[in-house]
Structure 1
Amino acid sequence: MDFATLDMENRDPNDINNHLKTAFDDVLAEVDGTHSIDCIWKASYACFHSCKSCCYNIFTFFCGIWIACFWGLDFALISFAHVWCVTPILRMCMIHFNLCQKTFGTWVNCCCAPCCEVFSLIFSNIRVEKR
């Protein structure tokens, strides 16, 4: 493992969890004319950030490694299944379906196309006139 390339500042470089970015102002807001006492608002701000940070750190301390192991195993299983099962099956299906497509296309061009051309020539000479 190369920990030197691990970015410890930007831990979501692809913004896959952009929807989770919540600041105090995104959750709690007082409209004009309805304001609490300033010290309560400041204390609420401090409590929000402290509780959010503390609880997140506790949850990740007890569950983070186990959940990371689970997802690592899950993605390893998915990769294994795709490399050894899904991709070869899809490739086999593409080969068989390509043969079916060529066979059906040849049959249509040999049998149906001449009949359609004949009927189109027959019906192309019909003229409809209003009286």
Structure 2
Amino acid sequence: MEGTDNGQTPIVKIRPEDASGSLRASLSSLAQNEGPQEVIIEAEPVKKKTVRGLHLPVRAFKSRENRDPNNVNEELKVQFDDIINEPEGFYTPKFSWHLSNELYGFGRACCYSVTTLFCGIPFSFIWGVIFAFLACLNVWVFAPCKRGHLINLSCISGFWATCVSALCDPFYRSIGLVFSNLRVRTEKFVV
């Protein structure tokens, strides 16, 4: 017997005699220990798994997302007014200007869609493989090499610091002592 609790969660009621196999044995032992005549199992409704965005109409999908949140392709945001401009004294009739604007947008969108359909899918796979390879190289080659160089350079940096302090510190201390005895006095004369 099935029902819903407040219209939200479906409730499934099972009697031990309606169950089969191991579920019947479990329900029978539960009924003997606790004594209920029916067991209520509450379950969340089954949610259909949908691919993000594919259930939306095309216009809603395109207008819903910012596909360049980091403005990586800022220079590609080219509208009709960014390309076609008329100088002073030359004016296209309003209808022709509007139609040109619409055809520019239509041609750009169609060409980009077709090109993306044929090139975008293979290139996305290729770029995925390339970045996976680079990530693998970074994890398994570059990061260990960098760590090894840091270990080696820490020994060299200690040696270098000792050499510099042994060779240069006496010279700079002497220069410092020479200039420490200089006294500079400034006076302001008002004329």
TM-score band, normalised by the shorter chain?
0.7 to 0.9
Equivalent residue for 1:83, pick from 103, 125, 139: 139
Report the counterpart of residue 101 of structure 1 in structure 2: 157
Q: Which has the higher helix share?
A: 1
Matched to 2:76, the amino acid is L
Runs ≥4 residues deviating over 4 A: 2-5
- Identify the match of residue 105 of structure 2 among 34, 41, 49: 49
**2-structure distance, mates of 1:76, 1:114:** 50
Aligned residue identity for 2:127? W
Cα gap change, 1:107/1:59 in structure 2, threshold over 3 Å: closer, same or farther?
A: same
Q: 34-43 or 97-106: which moved more?
A: 34-43
Instruction: Name the structure, 1 or 2, with higher relative contact order (CA <8 Å, separation 6+).
Output: 1
Unaligned runs of 5+ in 2: 1-49, 54-60, 179-191
More strand by share: 2
Specify the SS of the correspondent of 2:78.
coil
Greater mean alpha carbon deviation, residues 75-84 or residues 39-48:
39-48
For 1:128, the equivalent position in structure 2 comes to none
Aligned pairs for 1:1-131 within 5 A: 3-4=51-52, 8-109=64-165, 111-112=166-167, 116=171, 120=174, 124=178
CA deviations over 1:52-86 (Å, ceiling 9, x no partner): 00100000111111010111111111111111101
What runs of 5+ residues in structure 1 fail to find an aligned partner? 125-131
Separation in structure 1 between the aligned mates of residue 131 and residue 137 of structure 2, nearest angstrom? 10
Q: Distance in 2 between matches of 1:117 and 1:82?
A: 43
- Please, what is the CA RMSD of the aligned residues? 2.9
**Distance in structure 2 (CA, Å) of the matches to 1:79 and 1:57:** 30
Q: Give deviations 1:94-124, integer Å, cap 9, x for gaps.
A: 1101101101222333x42575378x28x94
Matched letter for residue 171 of structure 2: C
Report the TM-score when normalising by structure 1: 0.78
Closer/same/farther in 2, CA of residues 107 and 9 from structure 1, 3 Å limit: closer
Give the structure 2 partner of residue 129 of structure 1.
none
